[in-house]
């Protein structure tokens, strides 16, 4: 059975969260423990051996967390457990253990695509300013260790809002075409907003960014460069120059993955460019 064989499958949407620390990223990889691999293995058992290939809203890197990830999967149309999806959610959640929490399993039209139907992804990066990091925060917060100029960071980040080529903040990805030729994946994205705010407890800074899509390591590269501005190592005007340069070597260091979380995915009519 395939995803396009509408007559023999029923499409399910699964919304869930995970702690990214134990996993080598979201995407299934040979000889690696990944979120997708663990999820698909559990679904394969639930489907009694039927295929369980998932498509996600956004692949996260090794160590990156998610509070609101979405996948779709095509279940066998004759699977008798389709009549009780709340129980499927409970059983799947129990099979996945404490690092993955299944929030919802619902039936959706065959046209729903967790990746291509999404119109916006939202990420949050947690930063800690104080010299001493509370141990309980070290799991999901980057210890910057000094006070940041968050106003300058937010002003700098406004240069990213709109549709741009984000070559300065993305790792190049090469695509192989059916005829054997290779091309670089386009790095044009639409950023909807960038905000930087202090939060509780004292010392915590939250950087939030939303876009229609993100390329590999884009949020971490943006965060690392914004921290350079926040520390006073770069002027806020540098961000517009960096974006225009379209040169990855000009950007600041990539922020560590453990401070980053996928916190929201929006579905619905596309927003105007």
Query: Of all helices (H) and strands (E), which one includes residue 195?
Result: strand 188-199
- Please state the separation of Cα 175 from the chain's center in Å: 20
Of 100, 142, 147, give the one whose Cα is nearest residue 124.
142
The CA radius of gyration of the chain, in Å to the nearest whole number, is 20
Using DSSP, state whether 222 is helix, strand or coil: helix
Q: Which two tokens stand for residue 96?
A: 């996945």
Which residue is associated with the tokens 């023999």? 8
Q: Is 179 a catalytic residue?
A: no
Peptide bond preceding 74 in cis form (omega within 30 of 0)? no
Classify the phi-psi angles of 246: left when phi > 0, otherwise alpha if psi is within -120 to 50, otherwise beta. Answer: left
Distance between CA atoms of residues 261 and 105, nearest Å? 21
Name the active-site residue from 15, 61, 74, 140: 61
Distance between CA atoms of residues 140 and 265, nearest Å? 20
Give me the residues paired with residue 53 across strands: none
Q: Is 123 annotated as a binding residue?
A: yes
Which residues form the catalytic set? 61
List, as residue ranges, the binding site for substrate: 123
Residue numbers belonging to the annotated binding site:
123
């Amino acid at each position: 059975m395939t995803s396009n064989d509408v007559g023999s499958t029923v499409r399910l949407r699964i919304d869930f969260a995970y702690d990214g620390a134990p996993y080598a990223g979201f995407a299934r990889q040979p000889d690696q423990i990944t979120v997708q691999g663990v999820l698909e293995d559990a679904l394969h058992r639930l489907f009694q051996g039927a295929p369980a290939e998932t498509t996600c809203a956004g692949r996260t890197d090794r160590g990156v967390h998610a509070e609101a990830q979405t996948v779709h999967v095509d279940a066998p149309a004759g699977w008798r457990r389709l009549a009780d999806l709340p129980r499927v959610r409970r059983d799947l959640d129990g099979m996945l253990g404490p690092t993955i929490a299944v929030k919802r399993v619902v039936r959706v039209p065959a046209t729903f695509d967790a990746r291509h139907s999404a119109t916006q992804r939202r990420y949050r990066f947690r930063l800690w300013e104080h010299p001493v990091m509370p141990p309980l925060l070290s799991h999901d917060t980057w210890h910057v260790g000094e006070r940041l100029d968050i106003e300058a960071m937010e002003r700098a980040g406004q240069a990213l809002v709109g549709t741009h080529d984000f070559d300065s903040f993305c790792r190049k990805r090469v695509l192989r075409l059916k005829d054997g030729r290779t091309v670089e994946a386009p790095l044009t994205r639409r950023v909807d907003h960038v905000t930087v705010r202090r939060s509780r407890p004292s010392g915590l800074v939250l950087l939030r960014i939303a876009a229609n899509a993100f390329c590999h390591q884009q949020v971490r590269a943006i965060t690392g460069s914004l921290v350079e501005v926040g520390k006073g190592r770069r002027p806020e005007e540098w961000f517009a120059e960096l974006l225009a340069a379209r040169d990855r070597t000009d950007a600041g260091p990539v922020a560590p993955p453990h401070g980053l979380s996928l916190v929201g995915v929006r579905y619905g009519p596309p927003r105007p460019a």
